[in-house]
Amino acid sequence: MAKIQETKRDKFVRLAEARTNKIIDMIQLLGNCSNSGVYDYTQQDVDKIFTAIENELREAKKKFSKVDSKKGTRFSLD
């Protein structure tokens, strides 16, 4: 029985969709923690959570950039 070879694109689509949907589900679950009738939290707690998430999102986005994010950019006033 011959297996159909998955292309790089097909693999990317399959994994990216599954992982993105998993992240969305987890964010929605995190939102459930906002119910102050059930949970006790401070604004500082909320800020720490979303700072950590935003930092990781920014780092993941850099990995998709065609520009190397490790190198400094040249300053210009123009």
- The tens digit of pLDDT for each residue in 26-47 reads 999 999 999 999 999 999 999 9
Task: Record the tokens describing residue 73, joined without a space.
Answer: 């950019």
- The reported pTM is 0.75
Please answer whether residues 41 and 33 qualify as being in contact, where contact means their C-beta atoms are separated by less than 8 angstroms.
yes
Please answer whether residues 54 and 61 qualify as being in contact, where contact means their C-beta atoms are separated by less than 8 angstroms.
no
> In angstroms, rounded to a whole number, what is the distance separating the alpha carbons of residues 18 and 12?
10
Q: Is the pLDDT of residue 78 over 90?
A: no
**Which residues, in sequence order, are CB contacts of 49 under 8 Å at separation 6+?**
30
